Amino acid sequence: MAQRVEVGSAALTTAFSDRLAEEVERKRTQLVVGLDPRPELLPVELRGDAGRSRAHAAEACVRFCRGLVDAVAPYVVAVKPQLAYFEALGADGVRGFEEVCAYARTAGLLVIADAKRGDIGHTARAYAAAYLGGEPPLADALTVSPYLGPDSLEPFVLACRRSGAGVFCLVKTSNPGGADVQELVLSDGRPLWHEVASIVHELGRELVGDRGLSSFGAVVGATHPRAVGEARRLMPQAILLLPGVGAQGATPADVARAFTSGPASALVTVSRSVIYAFRVEGADWRTAAAAEAARLRREVWAVSGW
């Protein structure tokens, strides 16, 4: 939730980047756990009636996510609920998404809504209002697609300015097929994603907080270590959100170059390797998630060099 400090009659909203930097330094972690609940993969004790209806499945997923939040809260700075898994369960799932976001906030965690929204005009403004507006807002930050151009991003920039929200733009994604578009060569020899990175950098310059980081960040796949270093050079003030460590094959060492702008200048997001660790370890699902999160927290902090 955006923090407000009263100064006379004015309320000043603390920038997302500053709130994040404070929490990273306080907890000594750059780890973000993605909440991707799939009813068929839930622990046996939660599956129960999940197969009977969407309502039962949504309830089970919420219980799973709440338990995960409790388990990993000491080791992470934020959670990243993936909206698609909740939307798949209909209206009950969407209500569950809202409940999980609120619960994570009560646990003292920042919430990054992984919705990957992207549109133009009134529709983009509606998306910004849905996730980053309101009092309190549904999430602290939102993932968006910038591939509709700079005008599609302006409502999200405005949300950052007005409410202290954060935004993470998809720049260089972790999936192999992303290269089919993002690596297309422009007339000046640069790959397309470099131009998108330049757009993110320019839009983010007006959103730099007191800690020197912008609330307008970028998603860069940890599965592309060289691109991580290039992204840091192209977007020196952006917070980089780095998926791909764990189940997708990247390691903490692959993202070390992302942290040259400070300990909070990058976040490593892990999902399956933490939330479904019990399927490998055979331990209690909360214990397994906590142990894996603690391990990754130590490794990421060590490679960050801070």
Catalytic center residues? 116
Task: Give the pair of three-digit tokens for residue 247.
Answer: 């189940």
- With vertex at residue 156, the alpha carbon angle to CA 151 and CA 158, rounded to the nearest 5 degrees, is 95
Task: Give the pair of three-digit tokens for residue 100.
Answer: 């999980």
- As a whole number of angstroms, the distance between CA 108 and CA 94 comes to 22
Task: Give the pair of three-digit tokens for residue 232.
Answer: 């840091």
- In whole angstroms, what separates CA 59 from the centre of its chain? 23
- As a whole number of angstroms, the distance between CA 235 and CA 218 comes to 8
Counting Cα atoms < 13 Å in the Cβ hemisphere of 212 gives 7
Q: 4, 137 in Cβ contact below 8 A?
A: no
If 0-12 CB within 10 Å is exposed, 13-18 middle and 19+ buried, where does residue 186 land? exposed
H runs (alpha helix) in the chain: 16-27, 44-47, 54-72, 83-87, 90-106, 121-132, 154-163, 179-182, 192-204, 225-234, 272-275, 278-281, 285-304
- As a whole number of angstroms, the distance between CA 146 and CA 211 comes to 25
- As a whole number of angstroms, the distance between CA 115 and CA 86 comes to 11
Based on C-alpha coordinates, what's the Rg of the chain? 19
